[in-house]
Amino acid sequence: MRSESQRSDIQTFHVMDVWKAAAERERTHGDVLTLAAGQPSTPAPKPVLSATRQVLDGHLLGYTETFGILGLRDAIAEYHSTKSGIAVDAEDVVVTTGSSGAFTLLFLAAFDAGDTVVVARPGYPAYRNTLAALGCHVVELDCGADTRFQPTVAMLEALPEPPAGLIVASPANPTGTVIDPEELAGLARWCDDHGTLLISDEIYHGIGYGGQTMTSAWETSRESVVVGSVSKYFSMTGWRLGWMLVPAGLRGALQRLASNMTVCPPAISQYAAIAAFTPESRAELDSHVQRYAVNRELLLTGLPELGITELAPADGAFYVYADIGHLLGGAHGDTSTQWCSRLLQDTGLALAPGIDFDTVHGNRTIRLSFAGSTAEVREALIRLRRWL
C-alpha cells in the first residue's frame, strides 16, 4: 500500500471534529446548539437566489474564463472602488474557488519551498497548514492583547531577516480584531521596502461594530494582494467563490496555475454572485450585521457575568475569543479541547476550542460564533451558566 506523502503530515482542522461530534449528539439527543461554526446562519441574499433560478434556465453553465467572468470581476472592482475610495478595475481581479482556493494558488505563485512566511498567532489555521504542506517555513508572531492580537512593524523589525511573505487578517479569525489603519499602512510600506509580499485577508470586511475603520492594504500598496470572499458578509459560504486583487507581476503565474489546477471557479456561483453586490442585497446583508451586533453585545455582557472576563476586543467578524484557563481542571477538563467536548456531551452546546488558532496558548482558549439567531445566543448563555 502506498504511504501518505510527507506534505500531508499537517495539523487537522480540529473544529471539524467538533462538528462531527455535534452531529452525533444531534442524532442521539436532538438538542444541539452550535456556536462553533464560522459561517452565517442565513441563506444567500434574495436577489442572488432569484438570479440563480434565472441562470439555471438561461445559461449553459460550461467553463468560464480562468480568472472569472467579466461581469463579476467588474462588480468586485466596483465594490472595492466604492468601499475603499481607490481605483480598481476588472483586470486587477482574479476570481477563485473560495478564498481557500485563492490562498493555495497565491502561495504556489509567490513562494518556493523553503521560503519564510510570517503569520499571526492566534490566527486562521489554514494559512500555516497550507503553507507547511507546500514546503514553506512558517514563522508565527505571538500577538497578544498588548497589540490587539495583531502583528506590528516592530515585530517584523525584530526578525533575523525580511520574510518572503506576511499574512494579515482584519477583521481577524478568531479574535475579530481590526488592524488600526495607520498600522496596516505601516505594515504595507515595510513590506514594500523589504521585498516582502503582504497578503491582506479582508474576507470579513463589512462586518464591523462601534465605528471601527476598516481599510484595505491596496489603499497603501498596490504590490500587496487583497483576498476577498462571498462567504462571510455576503452569507454565501457553500457557493465557494472568492477573489484576489493582484499586482500585475503575479497574474501570469496565477493564470498558468489556475488554468491547470481548477480551469475556472464554479460557473453558477459566478453568474449568481453578481447580484450579491446590488443595493438590494447589501441592504439585506447589512440587516444581518445588525443582528450580529445584538448577539455580540449579549456575549460581551453575558460571559463576564459567568466569570469569563478575558475577551478579545471583537471589533468585527462574528466571533468572541475568550481565555478560560481559570476554569480548567477537575470535572470540566484540563484543556479547552476537553472542556468543549464535555460541554457538548453534557449540554448539547458546541463551541470551538482554541487549539486550531493558537498552537501555543490555544489549550486555554475558546471561540464562540455569534452568527446565529439572537435566541440561540441567549440559550447558549443559559446552558453555559447552568453547566458552570
Q: What's the pLDDT tens digit per position in 186-197?
A: 999 999 999 999
In a shared domain, residues 228 and 200: yes
Residue 158 lies inside a defined structural domain of this protein: yes
Residue 202 lies inside a defined structural domain of this protein: yes
Question: What would the 3-class secondary structure string for the chain be?
Answer: CCCCCHHHCCCCCCHHHHHHHHHHHHHHHCCCEECCCCCCCCCCCHHHHHHHHHHHHHCCCCCCCCCCCHHHHHHHHHHHHHHHCCCCCHHHEEEECHHHHHHHHHHHHHCCCCCEEEEEECCCHHHHHHHHHCCCEEEEEECCHHHCCCCCHHHHHCCCCCCCEEEEECCCCCCCCCCCHHHHHHHHHHHHHHCCEEEEECCCCCCECCCCCCCCHHHCCCCCEEEEECCCCCCCHHHCCEEEECCHHHHHHHHHHHHHHCCCCCHHHHHHHHHHHCHHHHHHHHHHHHHHHHHHHHHHHHHHHCCCCEECCCCECCEEEEECHHHCCHHHCCCHHHHHHHHHHHHCEECEEHHHCCCCCHHHEEEEECCCCHHHHHHHHHHHHHHC
In a shared domain, residues 223 and 320: no
CATH of the domain at 205: 3.40.640.10
CB 349 within 8 A of CB 357: no
Query: Is residue 331 predicted with pLDDT exceeding 90?
Result: no
Q: What's the pLDDT tens digit per position in 238-284?
A: 999 999 999 999 999 999 999 999 999 999 999 999 999 999 999 99
Residue 148 lies inside a defined structural domain of this protein: yes
Indicate the residue among 242, 260, 277 that finishes a domain: 277
Indicate the residue among 277, 308, 335 that finishes a domain: 277
In a shared domain, residues 271 and 221: yes
Query: Is residue 1 predicted with pLDDT exceeding 90?
Result: no
Domain holding 235, by residue range, is: 46-277
In a shared domain, residues 354 and 378: yes
Residue 1 lies inside a defined structural domain of this protein: no
Distance CA 338, CA 290 (A): 33
Residue 81 lies inside a defined structural domain of this protein: yes
Mean pLDDT, to the nearest integer, of 134-150?
97
Q: What's the pLDDT tens digit per position in 42-66?
A: 999 999 999 999 999 988 899 999 9
CATH of the domain at 363: 3.90.1150.10
Q: Closest Cα to residue 240, out of 198, 272, 195, 277?
A: 272
In a shared domain, residues 155 and 143: yes
Beta pairing class for 165-169 and 137-142:
unpaired
Cβ neighbour number for residue 340 with a 10 Å cutoff: 28
In a shared domain, residues 241 and 267: yes
Query: Is residue 3 predicted with pLDDT exceeding 90?
Result: no
> For the chain, what is the domain count?
2
pLDDT computed for residue 11 by the predictor: 86
In a shared domain, residues 88 and 72: yes
In a shared domain, residues 287 and 320: yes
In a shared domain, residues 109 and 137: yes
Indicate the residue among 277, 300, 332 that finishes a domain: 277
Residue 371 lies inside a defined structural domain of this protein: yes
Q: Closest Cα to residue 234, out of 177, 302, 292, 281?
A: 281
Distance CA 275, CA 230 (A): 11
User: In this structure, what are the phi and psi dihedrals at residue 343, rounded to the nearest 5 degrees?
Assistant: -60, -45
pLDDT computed for residue 111 by the predictor: 98
Q: Which amino acid is at 235?
A: S
In a shared domain, residues 236 and 97: yes
Residue 61 lies inside a defined structural domain of this protein: yes
Q: Closest Cα to residue 103, out of 89, 82, 117?
A: 117
Residue 213 lies inside a defined structural domain of this protein: yes
pLDDT computed for residue 183 by the predictor: 97
In a shared domain, residues 123 and 102: yes
For the beta sheet containing 165-169, the strands, ordered from the edge strand earlier in sequence to the opposite edge, are: 93-96, 242-245, 225-229, 197-201, 165-169, 116-121, 137-142
Q: Closest Cα to residue 39, out of 17, 66, 19, 63?
A: 19
pLDDT computed for residue 367 by the predictor: 98
Mean pLDDT, to the nearest integer, of 124-148?
97
In a shared domain, residues 31 and 74: no
Query: Is residue 15 predicted with pLDDT exceeding 90?
Result: no
Q: For a pLDDT cut of 70, what percent of the chain falls above it? A: 100
Cβ neighbour number for residue 344 with a 10 Å cutoff: 21
